[in-house]
Amino acid sequence: MGALVSIMSTVRIVLVSTSHPGNIGAAARAMKTMGLTQLSLVTPRIFPHAEATARAAGADDLLHAARVFSTLAEAVADCNLIIGSSARTRHLEWPQLDARAAGKLAATQAHPSTVAFVFGSERTGLTNAELDRCHYLAHIPTREDFSSLNLAAAVQVMAYEVHMATLTMADGQSKEPADSSTTRRDQHLPAPAIEMERFYTHIEQTLADIDFLNPSRPKLLMRRLRRLFNRAQPDAAEVNILRGILTAIQRRDKG
């Protein structure tokens, strides 16, 4: 049970630009039923609000503890794995998972990593800029002719999959010998998002310095590079090595 609590305590639900306060409350209730406690809100239209409290129906503690941010970058700055949820696919291919696979991945990497599930606004979902900050895009399969899924329902599905994957892991660990407590996730901790954002800024500046990137039209190239390094999930030491190389290139170019 201790392992279950530790893992679930490092999984965060991030709601971006939520327009209806009732959806925030309903999402908090969905989280609590599955043991999730970290709720972050990015520029909610209305919060706090009585309707959020009413829809939380006993999950008021999650609303009181919810952290409100002005940008998604701030909300996920300390996260090592970021999974965006979307009802639609994108023109630029992005690593995609179904809800079950996303739950298993989150359970595997959570604790000591911090994992964030990011949900966009009710009307438009995640923007491409918001998706750029995600390692994976999680999709909940629905009927093609009726794919609209309420925000709280989407949170419930993802939270359930994380919960079930964590229960399976905890059961498996309880059957292992006591001396086999070291896990793969303890051996490789991806760099937190804030360090990756500093790296992306650094690489964009360097590519502009050597005239490889047009500063006025960087988006597609940088999006592809984000996708590349999001797949690789370098740790902090590896990011430092890459930034050291970039610094050496900048010095040589200026020399």
Structure confidence at residue 178 as a pLDDT band (50, 70, 90): very low
This prediction has a pTM of 0.91
- Residue 79 Cα distances to 104, 119, 131, 163, 234, angstroms: 17, 15, 15, 19, 13
* pLDDT for the residue 40: 98
Three-class SS state of 59: coil
* pLDDT for the residue 205: 94
What does the DSSP 8-state code read for residue 96? E
- Same domain for 223 and 142: no
CATH of the domain at 46: 3.40.1280.10
Is the separation of the CB atoms in 61 and 28 below 8 Å?
A: no
Tell me the two tokens of residue 144. Answer: 């093609």
Residue type, 48: P
- 57-71, 90-104, 124-138, 182-196: the lowest-pLDDT one: 182-196
CA separation for the pair 67, 221 (Å, rounded): 33
Radius of gyration over every alpha carbon of the chain, rounded to an integer in angstroms:
19
CATH of the domain at 241: 1.10.8.590
Structure confidence at residue 181 as a pLDDT band (50, 70, 90): very low
Number of domains in the chain: 2
- Same domain for 243 and 211: yes
Range of the domain at 210: 190-254
SS (H, E, C) 106-155: HHHHECCECEEEEECECCCECCHHHHCCCCEEEECCCCCCCCCCCHHHHH
pLDDT in tens, 183-220: 444 557 999 999 999 999 999 999 999 999 987 776 78
